[in-house]
Amino acid sequence: MIDPKDAPCKGLKVIEFATMVSGPFAGQMLCDLGAEVIKIEPATGDPMRAMHPKQNDLPAFFQQINRNKKSVALDLKEKEGRATALELCREADVVVENFRPGVMKRLGLGYETLAAANPGLVFASITGFGPDGPYVDRPAYDHVVQGLCGVMDDFGQYSEDKAPVPVRNFLVDKVASTTLAQGVLAALLARERNGGKGQTVSVSLLEAYAALMLPAIMINHTFQNDGAERIRKIDMYHPIRTTDGFVIGHIQTDSQFEGMCRTAGREDLIADARFKDAWSRMLNYETMWSEMEVGTSKQDIATVIVNAAKYSVPLAPVNSITDFFDDPQVQYNKTWFDIEDADYGTIRNLCYPVRFGSSQIKIEKRAPRFREHQYDILKDDG
């Protein structure tokens, strides 16, 4: 019996046929939750291993999305490699893959084949656009889906030249990963409730990103009837200047507005008709923050933040990544932590962001070297 203090997914085995970001990040989440994750890499290794910066042969970004896993290399184009993969999947609870639709089936590793030998298997796939449809054969990366979903165009509406503005991060991939991990856990729960039968779980980059980003963007497209109310685009995000940097916050209630006026030393704005209620402030958001900046630009960040806390104003400094690491709340939470590795020295990690009442998450292993666990898992050093 599993101890309640063990990691929630302890005892589960995950076979990961995934490279780059979306599949591996999902695998890492399951690994953080206690599952054993065996990463099946191609004979040339996950392409992310070629990225820099590196410590010896371990790339930094590869470390951030593959920690705790075990690495095995198999050539799935060869009969022997496929046979080995099939044998590993017979004992697995979950398979995670992010090949293009149909590739696993052509390799003889599709869900029907694997489930015939392992009926309880949860077969989880990440695709670019879905398992079928007019774009099924198109390659997809983060940037492609950002352009397709209308988000870049919307962000660009706030810029002076109206040029599209991307999110400069692998957000699409990581959203799809998070969504897939959620789906896998739901499928495992369903397995417990329906006599141990597994099923497929499929997430597309397109739909995962749209589901996350579009609810606020599509408000003028929610009510489709003629004459439905429409509003102009409102830029709610306004960093404001201090003597030594920037702060950013959000004002929703009347008490928060009054507190922000006092924080900025602009008590004269409290009775200003332009900011009399939440909707008036929303319609004049740009002006409101410009007025606040007149006051904050004469104070340093520390003074502004202390006063904001005094008046219960939701405000924060615009930190650098180094500032983030040094932030007292971040350090108190242990949002990041270092592990010491004999081969790679000190490696900084981010915590798994869910905290449990009794279950315990313990992350203490770096990402694997290429083929590091080949012998241990396959009992074959070849």
Active-site residues: which are they?
238
Q: Distance between alpha carbon 157 and the CA centroid of its chain, in Å?
A: 25
DSSP class of 70: E
Backbone angles phi and psi of 16, in degrees to 5 = -110, 110
Q: What is the DSSP string of 79-94?
A: HHHHHHHHHHHHT-SE
> What does each C-alpha distance from 190 to 2, 28, 121, 363 come to in angstroms?
19, 22, 12, 27
How many CA within 13 A on the CB side of residue 218? 12
Give one DSSP letter per residue of 260-319, joined into a string: HHHHHT-GGGTT-GGGSSHHHHHHTHHHHHHHHHHHHTTS-HHHHHHHHHHTT--EEE--
Upstream peptide bond of 8 is cis (omega within 30 degrees of 0): no
d(CA 103, CA 23): 15
Which of 78, 61, 56 has the alpha carbon at shortest distance from 24? 61
Q: Enumerate residues 6+ apart whose C-beta is below 8 A from 227.
A: none
Collapsing DSSP states into helix, strand and coil, what is residue 212?
A: helix
**Close Cβ partners of 319 (under 8 Å, ≥ 6 residues apart):** 327
**Structure tokens that stand for 118 in this block:** 């392992």
**240: β partners:** 247
Residue type, 276: K
